Amino acid sequence: EGLERDETLWHGRESVSGILKKNMARGSSSSSGQGTLMGVVFPCMANILGVLLFLRLPWIIGKAGILHSFCLVFVCCLCTFVTTLSLSAVATNGKIRGGGAYFLISRSLGPALGAGVGLCFYMANSIGAAMYFMGTIEAWEIAAPTMQLMTPGDLNNIRISGFLVLGVALVLVGGGIKYVARLGTFFLFLVLAVILCMYLGCLFGPAEGSVPYELEITDALGNVSIAEFVWGAPRKAWFIENFSPGYDEDQKAFPLDTSEYNFIALMALWFPAATGIMAGSNRSADLLDPAGSIPKGTLFAQGLTSLIYLSFAILYGCIAPRSTLLDDKFFAASSAWPLKEVVIYGVMASTIGAGLTSLTSGARLLGAIASDGTLPILKVFAASPGREPRLALLASGILCACAIAIGELNAVAPVLTMFFLMCYTCVNMSCTILHIVQDPNWRPTFRYHHWTISLMGAILCVWMMFAMSALIATIAVIFCSIIFVYAAYNSHEVKWGDGFQGMKFQLARNILTNMDLRMHTKNWRPQLLVITGASISTDGEDIGDEVLHIHDPELLNIASQLNGGRGITILGGVCAAKGKDVFSDGGMFVNSHARQKVLDGQEAMQQLLGKYNIAGFGRIVYTEDFSAGLMSLVQISGLGAFQPNTVVAAWPREWSNLGAKGAEARMQFIRLVQVSVVFQKVMLVCKGSNWPSLSARLSGCIDIWWIVGDGGILLLLPFLIQKHRVWQSCRTRLFVLADLIGDDPEVMQAECEKYVRDFRLQIEVHVKVVDPEDDSLLQKDAVPEPVDLEVSPEHVGVDEAGPRVRGEVNIIRQHSSESKFLKRGSRQGPPRRQDLPPFSPALRPGVLPTPPGTIGSLGAAPLNLESVVFGDSRQMGAFGGSRMLRPGVGNDDTFNSRIHRGFNDDTVNSRMGFINEQAVQHQHFMNSAEQLTSTQPCSEGELDLAVRLNAIIANESAASDLVVTNLPDMPPDESAFGYLQMVDAMTKDLKNCMLVRGTTTEVITAFT
């Protein structure tokens, strides 16, 4: 069968010859045989050569003069010419199916902007029909002034007659839309015949020479008078007279129009005459070669009609004086050869045909927009396949009737101009954007195009819009913006591969590569990496009616509620093969059914983010070992400045299991924390069984138990989570421990409140005084009443910028066998490190420190992973050994500076009795690999301290909705089992707890 058809070698993939045959079959089936002339040139010329050429161009020349008229006609034609170049480029960038200009715009600009531009184009077609019908009535008033329903020239006559013509047109179009479209060629030849008569009259003049002729003139009050006019063959005198503008000259052609015209106003009036360049692309489904015919035919039609307009702009200025041009409202007919009736009735027939074509195009365009589904509000106008859009035609008729109700063609044309300019602006911008973003699919075969030309065309369109009327232009932009937002909201499922996606990609790429990786403290925000186990169905049956199952679903609620920081969230699911080789027979990467489930799982992960309103990304890591998946997620998640800086994980439920399952859970948890420490990421452990859902509304307390320095993350997290509607009614309380002996609780209370105010946080401050002689909190039935100390008014938390925050100072008598390490004021110097219990910093009084020497900086990168994992233990005392400095100690008045200096000043350290060992280069969580596998219980000393600390916390926060506190480090001699036992004892009887381990980076600042 041939090498390319070998099923064993290519696994049934299609051969190149088969692909080529299918492509040829698709191309041949989509053609209907119309060529460039009949399919593009004639329709475009029929739409471009409109009523304004016959009814307004001589009057515009009388107002603006030959020079200004030529310039404004040239500017309008230049705008449409540049847009034609852009349209040709879009039309040659791939095969075009049915849908015409709207298809080109929407598939290039995207569903959202395409819908807005499509609606503008639809409204332009519908309002354009009104302009044509009003031109028909004006011509009819001149042809038969005695056969009018009301007084000729009266606005009501134009309105009522226009409504009647519109009604007949709707009946005709509704009876056969497809037949109306075929009459375009007939109407075009009729227009060309009229234009030929106009040329002959202008070039040769009347047969009897310059003979005056008389016309009836109606003034603004309805009085009729007879005026005499003259015209003839081109004359130099008339050319000189009409060369300069006469904007202030009186005109009698339109007595009810009292507007003051200038160059810009007349350009707005004339611009609709230059439109119609998209008529050929509207017939793309009927063309033999759309990509070849649309550029050639549209450029030819636009160029020829531009020459016609520019030539008449000169000829009319040479064949009559200014008064004739300003007072004869149908001078194009008066100057025609051989009879003016030829032009009058020809114009009437052609304008009716153009109006019918505009109604047809508008109805089909609205039906196409409704069928795309990007604007659900318009779905009622969608037509069934093979049927004509009757309701869309009715909507076009209503819009057309509203424009006719204006009654004045000079007022309708500028409104029509705005909608066309909006459409042309977006066509030009689409080409510019597609080139700038270097979209790989942007490969137009049209050679005479450059993106700078499209950019200049877009700028020209915008200038014309705002120069004509800033108010109407603003309204048009707002209208398109509303449609854009509405369509963007409803078009998530529409995937057209548009240019805006490429623009977003390039914008994101440029921002990402230029962002500073070292984020300033003011800009720090939690970028969450939520790590959880995941399972997918690989046996043909879904898990719980879902392809994907998340092991810790409560983390999704937590991640959503932490979105107040507006950082990026990455949901990472680790799907372990549980010891089975993923490439073995039946493995998820070899089995065909399992491979599909793998793809479905990735899609389900992204859908899960949308379900929980999480702004971010989801990814499943498939691996044979769970720990390897954890390592991969922490190390490679994110890009550049969007790398996660906070790891969120759930408390291991099986930690107390002494079997293999418990050992695996403990190792996974410890490894995850250790990797987070190595890569300088905040670790956030969520412990609790009753996390609130997104629909819950809490009004309790969020309690912060600040034990050790963490860069301020402990204060920042409650502030961010309180932005979510679940927590926004909760109170936030800060608890700090102090010694009964050696600490002044009133001073500490005042200093804590000032510290909180400096950071602009609405937090209640509570100083808990620990009495080493009292262990009543450890007794189940004896919970003493807190003792309130009287605090002077100046020490109560009064914030000038916010509400009054009332704090409290309580005494808790706490006895400990290690009380000698809790007491201060010893003059024997700081105790040795080996004499300290590993978790004693938890009860160090008066602690509000930050890590010494590391404010606003990152630690040095480790030389290798082993030196960090198995290096020196974390410095003791750096986070727990400092004391709240008293006023007057040191020279710096700020609290944070005094604390920072206290960590480095040996004199102050000695006086305060705080432990200040030489700082190690790196800080660690675990110290040896043996800690992972050992099941040795927690030592009595550490467990006792954890229990006593829990008694203090639970006494105040047992009923709180959330407790946020520090995650302790692993003592050097404790096993993973013992460490988790200690942490579990410390957080016992708390509803929901966040255990946070910060980094050496300051994440909150008091400065502007």
Write the DSSP string, 51-80: HHHHHTHHHHHHHHHHHHHHHHHHHHHHHH
Contact predicate 665/627, CB 8 Å: no
**Counting Cβ atoms within 10 Å, is residue 5 exposed (0-12), middle (13-18) or buried (19+)?**
middle
Asked if the peptide bond before residue 338 counts as cis, ω within 30 degrees of 0, the response is yes
Gyration radius of the chain over CA positions? 41
CB 703 within 8 A of CB 960: yes
Residue 443, C-beta contacts closer than 8 angstroms, at least 6 positions apart = 93
Q: Is the pLDDT of residue 193 over 50?
A: yes
Gap between the Cα atoms of 911 and 913, Å rounded? 6
pLDDT of residue 485: 85
Q: How far is Cα 713 from Cα 996, in angstroms, rounded to an integer?
A: 8
Read off the pLDDT band of 875 (50, 70, 90): very low
Strands 764-771 and 731-739: parallel
Quote the CA–CA distance of 123 and 903 in Å, as a whole number: 72
Please give the Cα distance from 713 to 734 (Å, whole number). 13
Assess contact for 224 and 218: CB atoms under 8 A. yes
CB 759: neighbour CB atoms within 10 A? Answer: 17
Greater model confidence, 678 or 301: 301
Task: Summarize the confidence of residues 379-405 as an average pLDDT.
Answer: 87
- Most confident range, picked from 305-319, 366-380, 653-667, 699-713: 305-319
- pLDDT-wise least confident of 518-527, 547-556, 565-574, 735-744: 518-527
Residue whose pair of structure tokens reads 């709707």 in the numeric block? 170
Write out the two tokens for 513: 């590569």
CA torsion 141→418→271→121, rounded to 10°?
-90
Mean pLDDT of 608-616: 85
Tokens of 881: 């050994």
DSSP-derived letter for residue 34 is: B
DSSP conformational letter for 546 = B
Kindly report, residue by residue over 852-874, the tens digit of the pLDDT.
222 223 333 333 333 322 233 33
pLDDT at 223 over 50: yes
Confidence of residue 621 (pLDDT cuts 50, 70, 90): confident
Report the pLDDT value the prediction gives residue 782, as an integer from 0 to 100: 34
Beta bridge partners of 739: 770
Taking residue 603's Cβ as centre, other Cβ atoms within 10 Å add up to 12
Q: Tell me the CA distances in angstroms from 34 to 24, 102, 723, one per residue in order.
A: 18, 20, 63
What is the overall mean pLDDT for the chain?
A: 76
* In the predicted structure, residue 76 carries a pLDDT above the cut 90: yes
**Number of helices and strands (H, E) in the chain?**
35, 14
pLDDT at 588: 63
Per-residue model confidence as pLDDT tens digits over 317-336: 999 999 999 999 889 998 98
The amino acid sitting at 82 is: V
Structure tokens at 823: 């007491």
* Owner of token pair 């003016």: 340
Mean pLDDT across 566-584:
76
Position 322 scores a pLDDT of 93
Q: Which two tokens stand for residue 1005?
A: 């600042």
What is the rounded distance in angstroms from the CA atom of residue 982 to the CA atom of residue 665? 16
Give me the amino acid identity at 837. Answer: P
Interior CA angle at 297 toward 294 and 301, to 5°?
A: 130
DSSP 8-state assignment for residue 463: H
Query: Strand, coil or helix: what is 96?
Result: coil
User: In this predicted structure, which of 139-153, 177-191, 892-906, 953-967 has the lowest mean pLDDT?
Assistant: 892-906
pLDDT of 493: 63
Q: What is the DSSP letter of 207?
A: T
CA geometry: angle at 845 spanning 843 and 851, to 5°?
A: 90
Q: The whole model's pTM is what?
A: 0.64
Q: Tens digit of pLDDT for each residue in 9-58?
A: 555 566 666 666 666 665 554 444 678 888 888 888 888 888 889 989 99
Instruction: Compute the distance between CA of residue 119 and CA of residue 98 in angstroms, rounded to an integer.
Output: 18
Instruction: Taking each helix axis as running N to C, give the angle between helix 409-436 and helix 470-489, from 0 to 180 degrees, rounded to the nearest 10.
Output: 50
Q: Residue length, the chain? A: 1008
Q: In the chain, what is the straight-line distance between the N-terminal and C-terminal CA atoms, in Å?
A: 76
* Measured distance CA(125)–CA(117) in Å, rounded: 12
**Position with higher pLDDT, 588 vs 293:** 293
